[in-house]
Structure 1
């Protein structure tokens, strides 16, 4: 039951944050939402007992977003004052308390249910990380390479889009 609640929590949170990242007009808001969305995506891996991939997701992808965040602060005008309009603080507080309560339940459930035995397909001579590497580089090699190519194309498109915006600003200033 807690896995279903966790799945829906991470799904709704990550879709919401990625939506904020796409539709936000402020660069820093978009980068913050993108980093939060990547952290919530790692929650799926933790739900599937793939701790190694979850930690790699946090370190690699969220670290890359933080680097992108720092570059965007350098290239875009981050010194501009931001006037925020908070429409409903009660809604923000209630969503924060609800999210904290769900996270608390997800952390507490494995501690309470320690007596449940689950069987994993781990061979005694091969570790979990080694088995993961064997599966990735044999069964899912094409998918792994396609994801790498997609990330490379996304990075190149981001650089081209930023370069076009910088050229437009130079033309306006001239």
Structure 2
């Protein structure tokens, strides 16, 4: 068992565990923390894939900005703490069954896929993935990149407006 396989196994379990905890928890703050664990674990998987720029972007954008944006949304909107503690009766078995079926389908797909062996790293040219990714984003994908930033800004402004309207009604 290699160190890369062990790191992959741990990061995969953290990713899946964080996602399952995110849908299982009843308090919104705990959900956001679980989502942050999932985002950080995915960044670790990107490091294993030698996509360091994407991993750093994952940490900065998702683990940092999106989680903070969600926490601001929670703090700026009014909600009753009593509503968060309501338990989800008998949904545990259904959730487990759905996850188990999904796991079996994914496992079957992975086992039956004809994988092409990776090229030898000693003969492959080392490409600076940050330069290549930056060129792709700011040439072919500049409009979706800018639309995403506008969407995040609109979500933040919307949360502030909703919080302000709730404060005026009191």
The alignment's TM-score, normalised by the length of structure 2, stands at: 0.53
Query: 2:39 touches 2:58 (CA, 8 Å); kept in 1?
Result: yes
Structure 1 residue ranges without an equivalent (≥5): 84-117
Tell me, yes or no, if structure 1 residue 5 matches structure 2 residue 6: yes
Map of 1:31 onto structure 2:
32
Gaps of 5+ in 2: 86-120
**Matched-pair contact (CA < 8 Å) for 1:38–1:61:** yes
Q: 1:15 and 1:77, CA in 2 relative to 1: closer, same or farther beyond 3 A? A: same
Rounded to whole Å, the distance in 2 between the matches of 1:77 and 1:19 is 23
Partner of 1:133: 134
Aligned to 2:62: 61
CA RMSD of aligned residues (A): 4.0
Moved over 2 A (4+): 76-80, 118-123, 132-138
Alpha-carbon separation, structure 2, partners of 1:78 and 1:32:
19
Give the C-alpha shift of residue 122 in structure 1: 2.8
Please give the secondary structure, in 2, of the residue aligned with 1:122.
coil
Residue matched to 1:14? 15
Deviations 1:117-139 (A, max 9, x none): x545335xxx432222345678x
**2:126 maps to what in 1?**
122
> Which residue in 2 is equivalent to 1:89?
none
CA contact (8 A) 1:14 1:41 kept: yes
The answer on whether the counterparts of 1:7 and 1:47 sit within 8 Å (CA) in structure 2 is yes
**Structure 1 CA distance, aligned partners of 2:138 and 2:6?**
32
Per the alignment, residue 72 of structure 1 pairs with 74
Q: Report the TM-score when normalising by structure 1.
A: 0.52
Contact 2:8 2:48 in 1 (8 A): yes
What is the number of residues matched between the two proteins? 121
TM-superposed CA distance for 1:51, in Å, is: 0.9
Note if contact 1:45-1:53 (Cα within 8 Å) is conserved in structure 2. Answer: yes
